[in-house]
Every structure is written in C-alpha cells, then in structure tokens.
Structure 1
Amino acid sequence: MFDSLVKSPTSMSRREEYLREIISSYLFKDILVLEGVRYANKLVRLLQLLTFQIGKNVSVSELGRQLGMSKNTVDRYLDLLEKAFVIYKRSGFSRNLCKEVTKNQRWYFFDNGIRNALIGNFNPVDLRNDIGDLWENYIVTERLKRQEYLRQTTNFYFWRTYDKKEIDMVEERKGNLYGYEIKWKSVPVKVPKDWRENYPDAGFEVIHRENYLGFIYPNLST
C-alpha cells in the first residue's frame, strides 16, 4: 500500500505473503532472538497498538497499562524497534509557549506494508476506513526520505496545543518554520490562530493527492 518496500513479487497475494514472512522472520528471529526479547507476543501487540495511533499523541504509560508492562520496558521495546528501522518518532514543536504540547510523541512506520501485515488488512484504498492514517504515514515517511536524499538538514515535529489545535507536520530548515496539514482529499483548511499569531513568518500548506508529488520526490520542486 502506497509504495511498499516490497518491489520484486508481482502478484498481490505474493506481496502479502512476503510481508508476513518479513514479520515472522525479521521481527521474531532478528529482533526477538538476537536482542533477547522475552515476550514476543507483547512486542507484536505493541506494534499493533501503534498501527492505530498514526498521527496521534502516544502515551508510553498508557501503552504499558494496555500491555501489562512497565513504562521502562515499553521504552526499551520502542527504542529497539526504532533502531531496527521498523518505526520512528516525532516530538512536539514548541518555543516554550505554555499552551503547546511537547510531552508525548507520535510514532510512524517506515513502511505501510508492514503496518498492513500487522493488522492483516490489505484491502484497496477505497475499502479502507483508515485511509487517513495510511496517507499521513506515507507522506511523512517519504518526505523524511526526500530530505535525507537531498541532504537538507531538517528537524521534523508536529504541533499541538492543549486546546487541541494542531498541525500534522512542522519542518525547521535554516532557521525557518514550515507547517503542513496532510489530507487525503483536497479540502479547505484554516491556519490555526495560535500558530499564525505566534509564528507569523512561518509557512503553511495543505498536502493532498493533487499536489503531493513535488513534496516527496527529489526531482520535483516543492
């Protein structure tokens, strides 16, 4: 789904099988065995919980409560999965304004195909009720890859206030700020008042299906 890392298998059924093999061999053999993880089912369950929290603030304490694990153990598992390039995190952006949320983090998958395999859902996009999560994960991840490829030093964040005003992705480049809302459909989006007032020089743009190509591909302009 959305440019999975799996390129060689041609049929959809073979791709699905290949992704399941990656989870069973890579996750269980390489990560669980080599890193000495004792509870395989809880590691997979942790990833499954994260699949439904794309673009949302994640509380490690709440994850621990749902898994019956300590916060320190959850932190260790998250760190392990991040080092294995299964998931990665973004923190909240703030210039020390009291209304801005920075405590929690948001987690994304390096590949949507792995996310789909974890929840056993390979339906086409028109049959998905999680299309917003898939799209945001795809755009954020491909943008990160683009900036790395172009060697453009960029800090990535999200922005959210305690009264639930938010921007999906914030980039800090060469001292300048750029805010991006990520939408599956092209719909009007107002710039949050607090963002506009506190960061009047920051850019703001909505990324959707009609304008995303230049945002994620290095050979096209942003």
Structure 2
Amino acid sequence: MPTRLRTRYLQADALAAVKRAPAVGILGARQVGKTAFSKQLAKAAQREVLYLDLESPAALERLRDAEAFLHEHRKKLVVIDEVQRKPDLFPLLRSLIDRDRRAGRFLLLGSSSPEIVRSSAESLAGRIAYLDLYPFCLHEVAQRDRDKLWLRGGFPRAFLAQSDASAATWTQDYLRDFTEREMRVLGLNADPKDTRAMLAMLATVHGAPLNMSMIAKSIGMTGPTVKRYLSWFEQAMLINVLPSYHMNLRKRLTTAPKVYFADTGLLHSQLRINDLASLRSGIVAGNSWEGFVIQQVRAWLKGRAELHYFRTHDGSELDLLITRSLRPVVALEIKTTNSPSLSKGNQLAFEAVKAPVQLIVTPTSDDFPYGKGIRVCSLGTLWGHLERALR
C-alpha cells in the first residue's frame, strides 16, 4: 500500500481555520484519515506539535493533571485524537482558551457522536471551528481511478488496497467493527444484531424516499427505534440524509427524505458487490452512481450551499437541487449513460423548480445544450458549472 500522504481537499480550509480560531475540530467517520490529515496540516502550518491519542493509556496518563500538562505546552499546537473518549476535557479547554485566545491552540480529532457534538457545543461555542473530513473524493484521486473510487469507496485503506478483493475484505471488517464495537464506544446503546439489520435494510433502499414504517415492519423494530438508529448512523457519518425540497410550490410534493450511504464502498459491501462488472450490470448501478455523484458534490461544496431532491406525487422528479437560503441555484438530474434522455417527469420538474442552472450529469459525455435551458455535462466538467453558479 502506498505510504505517500495525499494532500486532502480540506487542507486549505483547515489551515485557514487553524490561523483564525483557538480550536479546530476535524470530525469524520472512523478510519477516514483524520490522524494522517492532522500530521499533514501541522506540517503545513509550520507549528511545533504535541500529539495525544486518547486511545493510548500513555496519553491518558499524561493528562492525569490535564490543566498543568496543557498549560506547560501552551505554545504548541496540541493535537488531541479520539477526543470523544474524554468529554470532560471540553470545559478545561474552554478555560484554557479563555485565558489565552491565540489562534491555533488545539486541533481536536474525533469520530462524530452525540457526546462530542453535545459537549463541544456547550463548552466551546464561539471558540471552535468545525470541519468535516470525508473519505477520498474525486478531486483527490487520478481521473483514471474514478470507477475504482466508485466501487471501493474513499476510505483510504479500501481505496489504496492492492486489489478489489482486499478492499472488499477491509470494508467488511470495518462494518463488522462498527456494528460490534464502535457504536458502543461512541456511547450508543445499540444492539449489534439490530445494527446489522438496519444497515442491510438501508442498502436496499439507498436513494429512495424513506418509508419509516416499511423499514420498521421489515426488520421487526418500532418506528421510534428505526428513527433513533438512523440518527446514530448519520451522526457517525455512515449515512447522509437528503431532504426533499418543498418551498413555495403549489404542488403535492414528496416530503420524506432520501437516505444514502455516505461512502459507496460501504453500500457495495452490504450488497456483496466486489467488482466493477457486477456493479455496472447490477440493478443497483443507477442508485449507487447517483449516491456517488451526490457525495462528490457534498464534499466539493464544503458547506457553501444546501442539498435537496425534488419529487411530486405525480412523478416529476430531480435527483439533486443545490439551494441557498432555500432558493434553487442549480438543478441536476444524474444519469449513468453518456447519451441521456429526460422523462416527462424530469422535464416538468426542471420547469417547476426554475433553477438558474439546469444540468444533466453523465459519466464522461461531451458538454452540450440539451434544450429549454438544460445542459448536458460530464462529472468531470460539472465543477466548473457549479463554481460559476455559486459565485
């Protein structure tokens, strides 16, 4: 496996945050590369660093008198990894920051969880800048590796594995660890059997409007329990919830959100899809590709706009709306073919939404007008259209 560190898409934003805020929080799923990224960031910031991994007993021992220890190293950038494991640190960090509000004092790394969000929100409000670190995205890999990224997902150990089979094995192990151990480490009272059942069910409804009662009935849970697990998975950055768009339109709209696995490698592991041939020929290819494109857009946006989908009860539908203050800026329909056509429902949806920029996104087609203000573009040229639309 290559050992060279890749420059992550978040580096410029994180470096700016370190120079602006007393504390910076890098949140991401477990094994997404937060530790490697923190070392890359510290090097770019040209700071003397103290690194503490709270999974290490030695680090916990050094924090026995945390106030004195951290005060002693106050001139350094203190990187605290797996910070969610010691939530009682947050009030102390607040006190230390209030005594000395210099920028770049603490870099906090953690798997997103209810505990870390609640504790930091209460203790470090106004003192911390949050950034979400996703798995590798298209802007971090070679163009020739796009389909590999789609199949394997962007978790570094899966994407950089020697073979598709090795990547699949790593992802299966990752999900097993999440199911049997990590949920409880995050402070969640989750039953491994129920967690497995929920993940398996979510793989079958990836990209579909969420029917909570159907899921509950299928796996023998109550509606509130299903809702609780969905919230846990979302906070752990395992899934993304895409809300429907329903502002100021005189139509009967679907209001249920859609749920997507945040990483297509995780989805494919659940569905036992381990090679590109099986993926391309399978019935899930369309929904999988749709989720892949949406995740690439989400990572590229870095919080600059909101994401929705659009669907009416009469069948008008668009895969993705990019909005600002709930006003459509870009409307996208995502296709797996390079010779796309629109259904009547797609055309009616474009007309109803009236976004200034209307795009059909294909894998690798040329960029050309489709008609009625709609343009076809490839995933590779999408970013130029989005950049111009969001200026």
Interval of TM-score (by shorter of Structure 1 and Structure 2): 0.7 to 0.9
Who wins on radius of gyration, i.e. which is larger? 2
1:169 alignment counterpart: 320
Counterparts of residues 10-25 of structure 1 (less than 5 Å): 10-25=162-177
Residue of 320, 333, 336 corresponding to 1:181: 333
Counterparts of residues 19-58 of structure 1 (less than 5 Å): 19-32=171-184, 34-58=186-210
Alignment RMSD, CA only? 2.6
Q: State the Cα deviation string for residues 48-97 of structure 1 (Å, max 9, x = none).
A: 12212222111112211112111111110000000111001011101243
After TM superposition, the structure 1 stretch with the greater mean CA deviation from structure 2, 42-51 or 185-194, is 185-194
Separation (CA, whole Å) in 2 of partners of 1:122 and 1:128: 12
After TM superposition, the structure 1 stretch with the greater mean CA deviation from structure 2, 110-119 or 123-132, is 123-132
Count of residues paired in the alignment: 218
**CA 1:217/1:138 → structure 2, altered by over 3 Å: closer, same or farther?**
farther
Residue of 348, 360, 368 corresponding to 1:193: 348
SS in 2 for 1:92: coil
2:78 alignment counterpart: none
Counterparts of residues 64-79 of structure 1 (less than 5 Å): 64-79=216-231
Residue of 201, 205, 209 corresponding to 2:363: 209
Residue 207 of structure 1 deviates from its aligned partner by 0.5
Q: Structure 1 length normalisation: TM-score?
A: 0.87
Residue of 246, 257, 263 corresponding to 1:94: 246
Counterparts of residues 55-134 of structure 1 (less than 5 Å): 55-124=207-276, 125-134=279-288
Amino acid at match of 1:30: E
CA contact (8 A) 1:215 1:221 kept: no
Separation (CA, whole Å) in 1 of partners of 2:166 and 2:175: 14
SS in 2 for 1:103: coil
Consecutive unaligned residues in structure 1, runs of 5 or more: none
2:289 alignment counterpart: 135
Q: State the Cα deviation string for residues 85-134 of structure 1 (Å, max 9, x = none).
A: 10010111012435242431100111111111112221323432311111
After TM superposition, the structure 1 stretch with the greater mean CA deviation from structure 2, 153-162 or 30-39, is 30-39
Sequence identity percentage: 17
**CA 1:201/1:217 → structure 2, altered by over 3 Å: closer, same or farther?**
closer
Q: State the Cα deviation string for residues 126-171 of structure 1 (Å, max 9, x = none).
A: 43231111111110011100111xx5x2110000001111000011
**CA 1:194/1:25 → structure 2, altered by over 3 Å: closer, same or farther?**
closer
Q: State the Cα deviation string for residues 11-50 of structure 1 (Å, max 9, x = none).
A: 2221111111101112321114643434322222212122
Separation (CA, whole Å) in 1 of partners of 2:241 and 2:382: 20
Q: Structure 2 length normalisation: TM-score?
A: 0.51
Separation (CA, whole Å) in 2 of partners of 1:115 and 1:217: 29
**CA 1:10/1:216 → structure 2, altered by over 3 Å: closer, same or farther?**
farther
Q: State the Cα deviation string for residues 185-221 of structure 1 (Å, max 9, x = none).
A: 031225532541x443542111011210133699x98
Separation (CA, whole Å) in 1 of partners of 2:328 and 2:349: 17
Runs of 4+ in 1 over 6 A off after TM superposition: none
Consecutive unaligned residues in structure 2, runs of 5 or more: 1-147, 365-377
**CA 1:217/1:82 → structure 2, altered by over 3 Å: closer, same or farther?**
farther
SS in 1 for 2:291: helix
Task: Say which structure, 1 or 2, has more relative contact order (CA 8 Å, 6+ apart).
Answer: 1
Separation (CA, whole Å) in 1 of partners of 2:201 and 2:360: 28
Separation (CA, whole Å) in 2 of partners of 1:203 and 1:164: 22
CA contact (8 A) 1:28 1:40 kept: yes
